[in-house]
Amino acid sequence: MEPSWLEDAVFYEIYPQSFQDSNDDGIGDLQGIIRRLDYVAELGCNALWINPCFDSPFMDAGYDVRDYKQVAPRYGTNADLVQLFGEAHSRGIRVLLDLVPGHTSDQHPWFRESAKADPNEYSGRYIWTDDAFRGMEGRPYIAGMTERAGAYLLNFFASQPALNYGWLDPRKPWMSAADSPEALATREAIKDVMRFWLDLGCDGFRVDMADSLVKDDDERKSATSAIWRDIRSMLDRDYPEAVLASEWSNPALALCGAGFHMDFYLDHHHNGYNTLLRDYETEGGDHSYFRRDAGGDIRRFLQDYLPKYEQSRECGYISMITCNHDTPRPARTLSPAELKLAYAFILTMPGVPFIYYGDEIGMRYLDLRTKEGGYQRTGSRTPMQWSRAGNRGFSNAPSDQIYLPVDALEGAPCVEEQLADADSLLSEVRRLTALRHAHEDLQADAPFAVINDDEADAPFVYRRGGMLLAVNPSSQEKRYEGELLLGKELVYRIGEAAVACGCLMMPEQSFAMLA
């Protein structure tokens, strides 16, 4: 059973470094988020996902945790985070924290103890070989940097040693089984971290690299799924309103196998989601569906999405995103008119949608030098653009002290101006979230069916519960006729969609909803 609040949830992802600086040091912080909670609520988002805010050396923007139970000083204190929970809850907003269970920073006290030559409580907390000259059988590792005579496995960057959840099929003496005492101790340590924050008011976790725990568990993820089912049992028993969202992008495994409540539909090359907004790496040019006249085909999305939806819809929710901190912003290639249609689609699909901060105003992707391990992702992590004031209202610090450069180009969108414009992208998003909240047929569980996907002359038409929806991202007028239109009235539109004489007329770049 999913927590009931997920049914009507619309999430807002906040990159804390870049959202709002409250103390003029050039870096966003928790008090800055608190200051902007009314904006989040008025946007129509009733849940937050906050990217890692724990103590870290920030070699990977906080995904290299140094202390799971301590807020990074640049963001504030544990008391500030508890205050954020309370202020959010008073506005009807739930808060998920970002949990990184697969690795820590190499500065974490667990790792420093594990790296000692003398055996201790943490010797088995990470994956080590038994010889400094023995590698990891093709996996990335580091050796010769510690007094311990062994090489240790990396989960990603060189600063991120892999925590030990065991191996599905241990073949060497130094490999732990997934049910070994040391692997079980790692699991319990992560559960302890989760309980710590849940007891302080957190509403759950987005889980980074959720499928990466047990090594060589590559196909069915049976051992990794068993860990998450155990954690889900803890939540169901002790924190029944808490939720887990997985960075997995395989809902059959993540939802039905591992017991997550939500699984992100990520931007993987050439999957269904990628074909909607970011198909610009396809041979022959950009064929993104929502790019006007790009030759996109909704069937490319449906061929990937429909099997995933059917396999998992009884287990949990697929979460579609506008973007995230790892993905180029959609405004990199899509115009505000195209974004309106894309967001209308995302916000009327089944599951639980996520809006990445700034996407609601069409913030642009900037070509920037890497910061804190961002590399090509850095351009999607720039400061939120609130106004035309200095640093776009993000901070009063000198511009050369800002965490990342703000978008200083002419025409850079900002909240202040779009709030005053009823035709802006922000205004459209606010109307769409209100629409979703107002109609149960648009929320997470309502049935979904494809009515027309042959778009030669007709728009893409789909049904949510008793509602009929249609989208036409092209420059050509399209029409749909059918018995399903009988008794229906147009209740929402983008563009000049109209119903007359039993026909739904969809002019260029239009969206319609009938009830």
With beta carbons less than 8 A apart as the criterion, state whether 74 and 29 touch: yes
- What is the mean predicted confidence (pLDDT) over 218-232? 94
Residues 133 and 188 in one domain: no
Q: Is residue 339 part of a domain?
A: yes
* Domain of residue 491, CATH code: 2.60.40.1180
Q: Is the pLDDT of residue 431 over 80?
A: yes
Q: Is residue 173 part of a domain?
A: no
With beta carbons less than 8 A apart as the criterion, state whether 325 and 380 touch: yes
With beta carbons less than 8 A apart as the criterion, state whether 153 and 162 touch: yes
Q: Is residue 149 part of a domain?
A: yes
- What is the mean predicted confidence (pLDDT) over 158-166? 98
For the chain, what is the mean pLDDT?
97
Q: What is the pLDDT of residues 211-221, one digit of tens each?
A: 999 999 988 89
Residues 508 and 372 in one domain: no
Residues 263 and 120 in one domain: no
Residues 379 and 504 in one domain: no
Q: What is the pLDDT of residues 22-44, one digit of tens each?
A: 999 999 999 999 999 999 999 99
Q: Is the pLDDT of residue 387 over 80?
A: yes
Q: Is the pLDDT of residue 284 over 90?
A: no
For 474, the domain range is: 447-514
Is the overall model pTM greater than 0.85, yes or no?
Answer: yes
* Domain of residue 136, CATH code: 3.90.400.10
Residues 409 and 274 in one domain: yes
Which residues, 6 or more positions from 349, have their beta carbon under 8 angstroms from its beta carbon? 320, 448, 464
Number of domains in the chain: 3
- Which of 382, 415, 438 is at the close of a domain? 438
- Strand blocks (E) in 63-179: 67-71, 94-99, 141-143, 151-153
In the prediction, which pLDDT does 209 show? 97
Residues 112 and 212 in one domain: no
Q: Is residue 487 part of a domain?
A: yes
Residues 304 and 400 in one domain: yes
Residues 150 and 245 in one domain: no
* Domain of residue 375, CATH code: 3.20.20.80
Q: What is the pLDDT of residues 124-137, one digit of tens each?
A: 999 999 999 999 98
Q: Is residue 257 part of a domain?
A: yes
Residues 255 and 401 in one domain: yes
DSSP state for residue 128 in the 8-state scheme: B
- What is the mean predicted confidence (pLDDT) over 478-499? 95
Q: What is the C-alpha end-to-end distance of the chain, expressed in Å?
A: 29
Distance in angstroms (rounded) separating the CA atoms of residues 91 and 93: 6
Q: Is residue 451 part of a domain?
A: yes
Query: Tokens 């912080």 sit at which residue?
Result: 29
Residues 89 and 111 in one domain: no
- What is the mean predicted confidence (pLDDT) over 279-284? 80
Nearest 5 degrees, angle CA 304-CA 327-CA 351?
45
Give the burial class of 415: count Cβ atoms within 10 A of its Cβ; 0-12 exposed, 13-18 middle, 19 or more buried: buried
Q: Is residue 171 part of a domain?
A: no
Q: Is the pLDDT of residue 419 over 80?
A: yes
- Which of 392, 414, 438 is at the close of a domain? 438
- Label the pairing between strands 243-246 and 510-514: unpaired
- What is the mean predicted confidence (pLDDT) over 472-484? 96
Q: Is the pLDDT of residue 99 over 80?
A: yes
In the prediction, which pLDDT does 25 show? 98
Residues 375 and 463 in one domain: no
Q: What is the pLDDT of residues 104-122, one digit of tens each?
A: 999 999 999 999 999 999 9
Q: Is the pLDDT of residue 281 over 80?
A: no
- Which of 391, 408, 438 is at the close of a domain? 438
Q: What is the pLDDT of residues 402-418, one digit of tens each?
A: 999 999 998 999 999 99
Distance in angstroms (rounded) separating the CA atoms of residues 428 and 33: 23
In the prediction, which pLDDT does 232 show? 98
In the prediction, which pLDDT does 501 show? 86
Helix residue ranges, H only, 180-261: 181-199, 222-238, 251
Q: Is residue 269 part of a domain?
A: yes
Distance in angstroms (rounded) separating the CA atoms of residues 390 and 407: 11
Residues 496 and 403 in one domain: no
